[in-house]
Structure 1
Amino acid sequence: MAHNTYERVQQILDWAVAADGIPGIVAEVHDADGTWFGTAGVADLTTGHRRQPGEYLHIGSSGKAFTAVTALALAAEGRLSLEDPVNTWLPGVMETGGYDGDRITIRHLLNHTSGLFLTGLAPELQNSLATRPTRIWTTSELIELALSQPPVAEPGEQFLYANGGYYLAGAIIEKVTGSTYAAEVERTVIRPLGLAHTHVRPADATGYPHPHPTGYVAGALKDGVDPATLTAENWASMIDYDKPPVDVTALNTSWGWAAGGVVSTTEDLTRFLQAIATAGLLPPEQHHMMWTTVGGDRVVWLPHARYGLGVIEFDSADAHAVHRQAVEAGGVSVSEVTHLAFGDLVGRVRDPFGNVWWIQTRIEDVTAEEMERRFGDPEFIAAMEYMQRPETEIFPRS
């Protein structure tokens, strides 16, 4: 059985490079038979060096799960409550953006129901990434960015994915503890799990520990597009995915911070995944809080899934879901998730690193027509069309 699983994962890796244009990709599977590591493609398009175990990767928004665990650990210690209003710890800060800091709670920040706008598309950030990719963002600048546009919903009203909520959560962690965000992640997550190859990337970092792949981003803004014109509605139509991969290894990622500032390896991520999916890190009460979810249907890339605190939960008809998570510094990591190990027996998969589009189109064989019905956004469908090559035509199911 394990041999068949490994072969299947390797097929998907090979296909991802051959058909999807990914420079290099890795997968690590931990099961009863041991550990298996697979690779396809290269770590660097110039040198042709192969991918290898133990590579350091910037894990992007998967870092939100680290932030959520840290906040929940502080709740378990009695140092904060998820129902604390933001004003309890950061008095008056939210009012600068027209937000009500007495109504928005820490829970709202962590499950993306605060009403904050889509911070990742803020014109100032997009302009900075395009013209000053090595800019170092301070915590105060990130909070200012998070509040630079008015609310888009009432607190608790709807799920709207916003990095800004995690910037504020990181600031609250620092206010509660009198320590740094990085130190608290180290204390509450990294040390207890023995994640020897995981750390919060320093704001001024310009590289990664060795070994690491070259980071690439697929696609870039179409010629002539002004980054300041990007919105939540039009961004997908502004990307040209036919452009060659862009090397972003030297990109400064301080803008990710508590929303996505962690560097790790596939081995460490697998250990972290198992711990948070099976109550191996938090007390039962806080574990339950982490997996208390809200619907994500209003977000085009998260249909038919639910969001907890830094984690995603979705229904899968298959026992196995193999998925890709493209991270913000261009690395790619792959994990195997099984509901038998990490969920329950009715097909609900607990996945902190979920790419729901990938899973539905690649693993569950959802048709392009059905995806368009679910997503309901023709521009988004057109931009994501490159992901629609039917894998099952290449690797039929057994």
Structure 2
Amino acid sequence: MHRRSRSLLALLLTSGLLVAACSSGNDSTDSTATSSTSSAESSALVPLDSAAIDAIVDEKAKEFRQVGMVVLIKTPDGEYVNTWGSTELGGTTPPTLDTKVRIGSNTKTWTGTVILQMVQEGKISVDDPVSKYRPDVPNGDNITIGQLLDMRSGLYNYTQTLELNRALDEQPERVWQPEELVALGLSNPPTSPPGAEYNYSNTNTVLLGLIAEKLDGKPIAEIYQNRLFSPLGLENTSFPANTDTSIPSPYTAGYSYSGNVETLGEGKEALSPERIAAIDAGTVTPRTTTNDNPSWTWSAGQGISTANDIATWVKALGSGELLGAETQQLRIDSVQPSDANGTAAYGYGIAQMGPMYGHIGEMPGYNSFMGYDPANDVTFVVWGNLAPTVDGTAPAAMVAKELIPYVYAGPPAATSNDVGEHSDDAGK
């Protein structure tokens, strides 16, 4: 899941979403939140054409072999909802906006938000060295809390290790402790010096979860509940115990054709032509991942939510509802280009996708996209229950990309080839 993050975020950040944000003609290569929000202010919205959007969702859901999919779009002019397919293979129960799913790396936005709440409470600073809280982190004197938040610490991503991926294939029920995950990451050499470059790493977010527990003196689940879920009324959102592999009802099952080791490594995301042919012929069926233990993701990806709750959450995230104005501005100002072209952007536990702020989440069997455009008050939520696709892409993110031209006026419809052929994981 999280091992493919860089390309999964780039999937949307370099696609039609960014073009939509720039439809005002602003050709600056600065991908800060300020420039994108400014561009979004002059982006026109188009009336939601339900029939046309239905056709795209149906086409793409079938193309990506989804069992079930939910799309929720909210604009000042109306709302679009599509609850496509079924919650289980061979079933007849359609999903709803209150069907629970595993949200993968969208959980990172929770962790980033509670850390920033603690920043405004004076408990921690984004400029503090991580060694102040975790003396065991190599070179921790030179890695800041801010660099953990914005994926520029250089710490190795533990979900890229063969040890973890082999265990996920052979022991999907295994219970992982956060300290085990951190140890996996820290046992590998860093990918770059601190602050040198963007490198999506789940090690960062698990460390932040442990630091949050230390500062608040509470388990991370209780921290999320007290600081995020209760204030926003997110009654169908939860963070399960490490030993809990269930999803509260009503939920959707998750499915995947891909093994973890077989798709580990650059260029190996897609299944072989022979496997794909067998899938097409019906001789290979997907594995059910619903009750795989998600503890290997912890504060980087273990959350459960619904389309309705995700919509509430991402709007609060993008508008800064749970942060003071100064802290929200700190977060927005942290968003920096995460690729050499300056087209993808990431900040303090938040991704910028054109005019939208949000994230993408993926783990075996589940993929979700969430975005909120504060300038135009647009909310986008998509989830699918078979992930990744056989060619390694992120189905929900790709559907969101395809639907952008049906929300924003301008040229994004001509940018479908800009998206990249595979996801790298923004959820894993």
TM-score (norm 2): 0.73
Given candidates 264, 268, 275, the residue that maps to 1:230 is: 264
- Contact 1:13/1:39 (<8 A) preserved: no
Aligned to 2:318: 277
Determine whether 1:77 maps to 2:77.
no
Q: Which residue of 2 aligns with 1:68?
A: 112
Partner residue, 1:388: none
| Matched residue SS, 2:353 | strand
Does the residue aligned with 1:341 lie in a helix, a strand or coil? coil
Tell me if 1:330 matches 2:371.
no
The one-letter code sitting in structure 1 at the alignment partner of 2:315 is: Q
Q: 1:120 is matched with which residue: 159, 166, 170?
A: 159
Distance 1:280 1:195 in 2: 14
Correspondence 1:136 to 2:170: no
User: Deviation digits for residues 53-83 of structure 1, max 9, x if unmatched?
Assistant: 3111111001100000000011111111111
Kept in 1: contact 2:127–2:146 (CA 8 A)? yes
Matched, 1:256 2:297: yes
Instruction: Show the counterpart of 2:214.
Output: 175
Partner of 1:23: 67
Q: Which residue of 1 aligns with 2:247?
A: 208
Answer yes or no: is 1:190 the counterpart of 2:232: no
Letter in 1 for 2:174: R
- Structure 2: distance between partners of 1:303 and 1:215: 34
- Deviation, 1:20, is 2.3
SS at match of 1:25: strand
Q: Distance in 2 between matches of 1:359 and 1:265?
A: 17
Q: How does 1:339-350 map to 2 (within 5 A)?
A: 340-342=375-377
Q: Deviations over 1:82-103 (max 9, x none)?
A: 1111111122x11xxxx20111
Q: Distance in 1 between matches of 2:214 and 2:237?
A: 23
Q: How far, CA to CA, are the matches of 1:336 and 1:294 in structure 2?
A: 17
Matched pairs, number:
351
Q: Which amino acid aligns with 1:90?
A: R
State the AA in 1 paired with 2:82: G
- In structure 1, stretches of 5+ residues that fail to align are 344-348, 376-380, 385-398
Counterpart of 2:133 in structure 1 is 89
Q: In the TM superposition, what is the alpha-carbon distance from 1:9 to its structure 2 partner? A: 3.5
Give CA deviations for 1:301-354 in whole Å, capped at 9, x if unaligned.
x972100122111336xxx99x995632523446575464359xxxxx999999
- Superposed, which structure 2 residues align to 1:263-342 within 5 Å? 263-291=304-332, 292-297=334-339, 304-315=343-354, 325=360, 327-328=362-363, 330-333=365-368, 337-338=372-373, 340-342=375-377
Whole-angstrom distance in 2 between the partners of 1:159 and 1:22: 32
Contact kept? 2:143, 2:153, Cα under 8 Å: yes
Deviation sequence 1:5-33 (CA, Å, 0-9, x none): 44443333212222222111001233446
8 Å CA contact retained: 1:195, 1:268: yes
Deviation at 1:285, TM superposition (A): 1.7
Tell me the SS of whatever aligns to 1:4: coil
**SS of match in other structure, 2:183:** helix
Deviation of 1:262 (Å):
1.0
SS in 1 for 2:206: helix
> Whole-Å Cα distance in 1 between the matches of residues 108 and 119 of structure 2?
17
TM-score by structure 1 length?
Answer: 0.78
Q: Distance between the aligned counterparts of 1:63 and 1:239, measured in 2?
A: 31
Kindly indicate whether the alpha-carbon contact (under 8 Å) linking 1:109 and 1:166 is maintained by their aligned counterparts in 2.
yes
Q: Deviations over 1:219-276 (max 9, x none)?
A: 346xxxx55x933x34425677724432100110001111111111111111111111
Q: State the match for 1:366 in structure 2.
A: 415
Aligned Cα root-mean-square deviation (Å): 3.3
Distance of 1:235 and 1:127 partners within structure 2: 15
Whole-angstrom distance in 1 between the partners of 2:382 and 2:351:
5
Contact 2:73 2:381 in 1 (8 A): no
Distance 1:100 1:107, change over 3 A: same
The equivalent of 1:393 in structure 2 is none
| CA pair 275-143 structure 1, distance change in 2 beyond 3 A | same
Determine if contact 1:303/1:356 at 8 Å carries over to the other structure. no
Q: Taking structure 1 as reference, are residues 220 and 230 closer, same or farther at Cα in structure 2, changes over 3 Å only?
A: closer
- Matched to 1:249, the amino acid is T
- CA gap of 1:324–1:277, structure 2 versus 1, over 3 A, is closer
1:324 and 1:332 in contact (8 A); partners too:
no
What is the rounded CA distance, in whole Å, between the counterparts of 2:397 and 2:190 in structure 1? 26
Matching residue's letter, 1:366: T
CA distance in 1, matches of 2:337, 2:75: 31
Aligned pairs for 1:127-166 (under 5 A) are 127-166=166-205
Q: How far did residue 286 of structure 1 move?
A: 1.4
- Post-superposition offset of 1:135: 0.5
Per-residue displacement from partner, 1:195-222 (whole Å, max 9, x unpaired)?
Answer: 111111211112111101111125346x
CA, structure 1 residues 351+161, in 2 after alignment: closer, same or farther (shift >3 Å)? farther
What is the rounded CA distance, in whole Å, between the counterparts of 2:380 and 2:204 in structure 1?
Answer: 22
Q: Residue type matched to 2:167 in 1?
A: S
Whole-angstrom CA distance in 2 between matches of 1:4 and 1:158: 39
Contact 2:331 2:347 in 1 (8 A): yes
CA contact (8 A) 2:307 2:381 kept: no
Give the SS at the match of 2:74.
Answer: strand
In structure 1, what residue type is equivalent to 2:246?
G
Taking structure 1 as reference, are residues 81 and 326 closer, same or farther at Cα in structure 2, changes over 3 Å only? closer
Distance 1:15 1:46, change over 3 A: same
How far did residue 36 of structure 1 move? 4.5
CA contact (8 A) 1:146 1:167 kept: no
